Structure 1
Amino acid sequence: MRTSNHLIGVLNFLTFLLSVPILGGGIWLSSRANNTDCLKFLQWPLIIIGACIMIISLAGIAGACYRNTFLMWLYLFVMFFVIAALIGFIIFAYVVTDKGSGRTVMNRAYLDYYLQDYSGWLEERVASDSYWGKIASCISQDSKVCAKMGRNVGGVPETAEIFYLRRLSPIQSGCCKPPTECGYVYQNETVWNPGAGLVGANPDCTRWSNDQEQLCYGCDSCKAGVLASLKKSWRKVSVINIVVMIILVIVYIIAYAAFRNNRKMDNDEPSGEARMTKAHPTRFEF
């Protein structure tokens, strides 16, 4: 009995530790939402799942230490649904970030982003008027992504040739400069002048403004940049979640087996002997 309780206690302590990277991933997404991505509702399911695992694990530890069968039963019951929720969240994260990626541009290290490359629930959510106004305001006023793009090389502003070699983030590329196909001429990181040639047919070409309060915040390329940034962030967290989920399933199976062994011992039933054998023991034992 003691060994079984110790095993359950150790397993619950392990699940408590596993809740830390899940909770940390949610907090990291929250900081990304505040500083870069500016979409603040997506991290909460992960934070809630991590907090639930942490609380349930503490209940499981208490149940193991005090041999409280109810707490152990509650731990197994709730943990089953938490694991199911985590699996559902991982599937949801991959489904909503499945489509879309940046397009390579000739003689540029950065990528260009197009809203038509994305589709589905997340794209509709980001592009909707009710959400995009808040997101654009966050990018321009709170995170100040574009305002932080300026660089000096040797004490002077970087040239166009150096800028073209920069690996811009999706939001920097989509929101802080016009699409490359529009033919604008680089003056500095966030100031671009119309070129001598014709402006491209992309509607974003006419939406670009050198006004530092507007830039390309109203462009579809900016919305695509936010979606690409979200995809990159969620994929990083999903890798951690998959590893944690696999470990949680293994721990749950072991904890369930240990809990059943405890129940048998509580009923004075040897772990390897069935109830039917005890109720009707054979006369002949070898």
Structure 2
Amino acid sequence: MVRFSNNLIGILNVITFLLSIPILGAGIWLSVRGSTDCEKFLERPVIALGVFLMVVSLAGLIGACCRVSWLLWLYLLVMFILILLLFCFTVFAFVVTNKGAGEIVSGRGYKEYRLGDYSNWLRKRVDDNGNWAKIRSCIRGSKVCDSLSKRNQTFDQFINDNLSPIQSGCCKPPTACNFDYISETVWNKPQGFTNSSISDCNTWDNDPSILCYDCQSCKAGLLANLKSDWKKVAIVNVIFLIFLIIVYSIGCCAFRNNRQDNYRGWKRGYQA
């Protein structure tokens, strides 16, 4: 008789297998229908995750319910590596997102962001020209600045608006530039403007395809957004890590049951 821990591992892996099907389907859909760089970037990781979950869940299901010890051992090995990697990533996420926060601007409802406030590791990633070209394409593709420009706000309404980090960093010039407000994404440089000591003031352009997408403030806004997202992911990872440890413990019980059953079967066969 298959024991409780084997049954429980089997049920959990059936659920995991069923979850892997829509994940794999989403990856295949992205590979066929994806039109933007961001969608294409997600395609391979999503497919890999779907295939990984499907294979691991099948190994755990067959190993536990059919009492195939070597498959269950392989399942536990993969689970152990996954727990270790997830733990390392969670610690890493908390460390690299520990620094950096938006600065309150006097008389403004939004914050502004400086690249130098964030960790060296994150700064190096966004400062890399190849990486930033892809990220910039994703930001433009999200049309976050287009949606801001459609609000048709007055200057007073705009400065009291609660802009997102991306909108604050990429869709407008820094407040210190003192540009003349025309609309949310159109700011004219004052008459007689020459090169400023603030590089972002020189980088700003009213062209909707340029704006401040190459500004340091845009990179900082992205990192502020990334920091918030990674904090949430890290918290979810902690919960998932606890769940994996519980499943791993149950899997160890199922593996022990398999060995005991195999030993009893061998002993009966030997005595016969």
Q: TM-score range by the shorter chain?
A: 0.7 to 0.9
Query: Could you say if the C-alpha distance between residues 14 and 90 of structure 1 is closer, same or farther in structure 2, counting changes exceeding 3 Å?
Result: farther
Question: Which residue pairs with 2:245 in the alignment?
Answer: 249
Identical aligned residues as a percent: 50
Letter matched to residue 148 of structure 1: S
Change (3 A) 1:264 1:138: closer
Aligned to 1:2: 2
1:63–1:70 Cα contact (<8 Å) kept: yes
- How far apart in 2 are the matches of 1:87 and 1:62? 27
The range that moved more, 90-99 or 192-201, is 192-201
The amino acid across from 2:156 in the alignment is E
Structure 2: 5+ residue stretches without partners: 266-272
> Residues 184, 119 of structure 1: CA spacing in aligned structure 2 closer, same or farther, 3 A cutoff?
same
Using the TM superposition, give the Cα deviation of residue 196 of structure 1 relative to its aligned residue in structure 2, in angstroms.
8.4
Under a length normalisation based on structure 2, what TM-score does the superposition of the two structures give?
A: 0.79
User: Aligned runs of 1:37-56 on 2, under 5 Å?
Assistant: 48=48, 51-56=51-56
For the Cα contact (< 8 Å) 2:94–2:231, is it kept in 1? yes
Q: Does 1:185 align with 2:186?
A: no
Q: 1:194 to 1:245 in 2, by over 3 A?
A: same
Q: CA deviation at 1:146?
A: 1.4
Aligned equivalent of 1:234? 230
For 1:35 and 1:163, the matched residues in 2 are separated by 33
Which amino acid is the alignment partner of residue 242 of structure 1?
V
The alpha-carbon distance between structure 1 residues 48 and 88, as it changes in their structure 2 partners (threshold 3 A), is: farther
* Offset from partner CA, 1:174-226 (integer Å, 9 cap, x none): 11101112222321110112458999742212222222232112211111112
Residue in 2 that maps onto 1:144: 143
Equivalent position of 1:71 in the other structure? 71
Question: What CA distance in whole angstroms lies between the structure 2 residues aligned with 1:78 and 1:120?
Answer: 32
1:266 aligns with 2:262: yes
Q: Secondary structure at the match of 1:268?
A: helix
**Gapped runs of 5+ residues in structure 1?**
270-286
Q: Which residue of 2 aligns with 1:279?
A: none
From the superposition, tell whether residues 106 and 42 of structure 1 become closer, same or farther in structure 2 (CA, over 3 Å): farther
Query: Matches of 1:17 and 1:161 in 2, distance apart?
Result: 52
- Contact persistence 2:3–2:257 (CA under 8 A): no
Normalized per residue, the structure richer in helix is: 2
C-alpha RMSD over aligned residues: 3.6
> What is the rounded CA distance, in whole Å, between the counterparts of 1:243 and 1:118 in structure 2?
26
Tell me, what secondary structure is at the counterpart of 1:212? coil
Normalization by structure 1: what TM-score?
0.75
Change (3 A) 1:67 1:261: closer
> CA 1:219–1:169 in structure 2 vs 1: closer, same or farther (change >3 Å)?
same
Deviation of 1:8 (Å): 3.0
2:209 pairs with one of 195, 213, 216? 213
Shift of 1:258: 2.8
Q: Does 1:115 align with 2:124?
A: no
Cα 1:9/1:51, change in 2 over 3 Å: same
Aligned to 1:187, the other structure's residue is in SS state strand
Structure-2 separation of matches of 1:164 and 1:84: 46
Letter in 2 for 1:225: G
| In 1: Cα distance, 2:248 partner to 2:259 partner | 16
CA distance in 2, matches of 1:167, 1:215: 19
Moved over 6 A (4+): 17-21, 34-37, 39-47, 196-200
- Distance, in Å, in 2 between the alignment partners of 1:35 and 1:112 is 32
Q: Which residue of structure 2 aligns with residue 124 of structure 1?
A: 124
Count of residues in Structure 1 that have an aligned counterpart in Structure 2: 257
1:158 maps to which of 149, 153, 165: 153
Q: Does 1:175 align with 2:170?
A: yes
Measured at CA, do residues 64 and 251 of structure 1 come closer, stay the same or move farther in structure 2, by a change above 3 Å? same
